[in-house]
Structure 1
Amino acid sequence: MRSMMIFYLFYFLCLCLSVACVVCVCVWNSQWRGGFAWDGSSREFNWHPVLMVTGLVVLYGNGAVLYRIPLTWAHSKLPWKILHAALMFLSLILSIVGLCAVFNVHNAGNIPNLYSLHSWIGIAATALFAFQWVAGFAGFLLPWTPLSMRKLLKPVHVWLGGSILILSIAASISGINEKLFFVLKGTTNGTQPYSSLPPEAVVANSLGVLIVAFGLIVLKILSTSEWQRPDGSEDRTYAVRTSRTKNCWIERCHPKCCVLLSSSLYYVMKVIEEQLLAKSHPPF
């Protein structure tokens, strides 16, 4: 009981931090960066941090901890699998649209792509995420996937999921810092320097802190063994069903196999008997 109370405390913090991250990134880009558009301008770029934080961090993290909610344990796992896959798919779509926004802006302004460490980490996280989703869909949602394959894939799926979250957080905080260095240049563009910590810097830095806190909470939930969903009856039922199918096939085939085997043995014995008789009574 105490463990579950602690879980719900962490999960409540996870939800609160989720809302705080989304609100903070939206306020930053609407209040100080000029709002949003889809015209190749800097306002289109503002979609990039909003969609990446919302998709690759917040939705991804909440989708990852879905199985840990004790209220879901008493129900069939399949609906939660579908919801998990749907949340992750929405997260992936938002991330891809966020990447399209930054590529459009860079291409419109003849700005090089993929030259910074931030971009490398972000692309790596998104690519791994896409691979993870396809592998997870094939391994855990397709009904004909063997149980042995699911057992082999599960620890890899869990480990890669946590790794993608870490990469997403690293990409987010490096991107926030990079953006602040670009736009807060002091007198050259009419802004206060980053070193003077103007209000925009406070909000953006706070966003980075919220993202890190959110990631730590999610990783805590994922790494606590007491909060893992117990092995439900679904996989055991799958194994029993497979075993019963094999047994039924054997039972159905057994009488036929016995008749075939008996006929074969009778034929072999008959041939041997005829050969022995032929040897004992040679023709004249």
Structure 2
Amino acid sequence: MSSSSTFIILTFARISAALVALLVLTWALTFKTSFTPHSPFSQQKFIYNVLHPLLMVIGFIIISGEAILVHRWMPGSRNVKKTVHLGMQGVALSCGVFGIWTKFYGNNGIVANFYSLHSWMGLFCVFLFTIQWIMGFLSFWHRGEARRARMTILPWHVFVGLYTYGLAVVTAETGLLEKLTFIQTTRNVSRHGSESVLVNGLGLGLALLSGAVILGAISPRPQQYVTSSAKLRYSNDKY
């Protein structure tokens, strides 16, 4: 992959992330009544409910996606990239855990909220993310690990990381669909109204963002492409 293609992918990923962040902030701050489950308006309930989408989308999905791109494309030594990657993933994990806590704490606890596909997938996703972060720390940051062991774990670390990131995006999409269905049926929100359009746009933005992040993660680096081409030419010349 050329440097220009890499620049386009990374730029598109950052623009998509900024758009998603803007949409979720606009939704939370403009349509406040959609985040209060009961009337009259409760400021405390609003804060807990609005923190959930903000932390899970901006804190969990966007930051973890940026951590993936940083580890893949940020210039500098491997130790620097691993440090930044691990730190950003730790921030994303903290946001995910706290985001789930605000949802459960603000709405009568875990049992009362653990009923939908969205809630099941959310807990499973954060559990996988926690295991992934711990394994990443032990396998790639601990100085005592053997190089062969790290190389053996690397493909699984990449696979589980991308799978968990994709699962987080799918979980967010199910949450948006669940929330939109609820406000359309109980709050008489129009299917063609501004809030419905905004939430659908947010879901589309998440889909575009995830595609850009995953493409950036699996795309070969320019030097890798050159090295592979050189090896191929050498093999053809040899035989």
For the superposition of Structure 1 and Structure 2, which TM-score range results when normalised by the shorter chain?
A: 0.7 to 0.9
Deviation at 1:177, TM superposition (A): 0.8
Tell me which stretches of 4 or more aligned residues in structure 1 moved more than 4 Å: 227-230
Deviation at 1:68, TM superposition (A): 2.4
Secondary structure of 2:2's counterpart equals helix
1:110-121 aligned at under 5 Å gives the runs 112-121=112-121
1:246-257 aligned at under 5 Å gives the runs none
Secondary structure of 1:164's counterpart equals helix
Inter-CA distance 229–90: structure 2 relative to 1 (3 Å threshold):
farther
Secondary structure of 2:112's counterpart equals coil
Long gaps (5+) in structure 1:
231-284
Superposed CA RMSD = 2.4
Inter-CA distance 20–160: structure 2 relative to 1 (3 Å threshold):
same
**Correspondence 1:192 to 2:189:** yes
Letter in 2 for 1:83: V
Long gaps (5+) in structure 2:
37-41, 226-239
Return the structure number with greater relative CO, CA threshold 8 A, min gap 6. Answer: 2
Q: 2:197 aligns with which of 198, 202, 209?
A: 202
Letter in 1 for 2:57: V
Secondary structure of 2:107's counterpart equals helix
1:172-187 aligned at under 5 Å gives the runs 172-185=172-185
Q: Please say which structure displays the higher CA radius of gyration.
A: 1
Q: Aligned residue pairs: how many?
A: 220
Deviation at 1:228, TM superposition (A): 8.6
Deviation at 1:163, TM superposition (A): 0.2
Secondary structure of 1:115's counterpart equals coil
Q: Distance in 2 between matches of 1:173 and 1:107?
A: 23
**Residues 165-199 of structure 1: CA deviation (Å, up to 9, x unaligned):** 110111011100100111222xx54x334xx3210
Q: Distance in 2 between matches of 1:65 and 1:79?
A: 14
- % identical aligned pairs: 24
Q: Distance in 1 between matches of 2:165 and 2:157?
A: 12
Match of 1:3 in 2: 2
**Correspondence 1:12 to 2:11:** yes
Q: 1:60 aligns with which of 40, 57, 64?
A: 64
Q: Distance in 1 between matches of 2:199 and 2:224?
A: 36
TM-score, normalised relative to structure 2: 0.85
Secondary structure of 1:66's counterpart equals helix
Q: Distance in 2 between matches of 1:171 and 1:197?
A: 24
**Residues 109-159 of structure 1: CA deviation (Å, up to 9, x unaligned):** x97221111111111111100000010001111111111110111101000
1:1-284 aligned at under 5 Å gives the runs 3-34=2-33, 41-69=45-73, 72=75, 75-107=76-108, 112-185=112-185, 189=187, 191-193=188-190, 196-226=191-221
Q: Distance in 1 between matches of 2:223 and 2:217?
A: 7
Aligned residues of 1:222 and 1:228 also touching (Cα < 8 A): no
Deviation at 1:98, TM superposition (A): 0.5
Aligned residues of 2:107 and 2:113 also touching (Cα < 8 A): yes
Deviation at 1:214, TM superposition (A): 0.2
TM-score, normalised relative to structure 1: 0.72
Deviation at 1:63, TM superposition (A): 0.3
Deviation at 1:56, TM superposition (A): 2.1
Aligned residues of 2:20 and 2:206 also touching (Cα < 8 A): yes
Deviation at 1:42, TM superposition (A): 3.8
Aligned residues of 1:45 and 1:105 also touching (Cα < 8 A): yes
Q: Distance in 1 between matches of 2:114 and 2:223?
A: 38
Q: Distance in 1 between matches of 2:221 and 2:101?
A: 40
Aligned residues of 2:125 and 2:167 also touching (Cα < 8 A): yes
Inter-CA distance 158–227: structure 2 relative to 1 (3 Å threshold):
farther
Letter in 2 for 1:121: M
Letter in 2 for 1:220: L
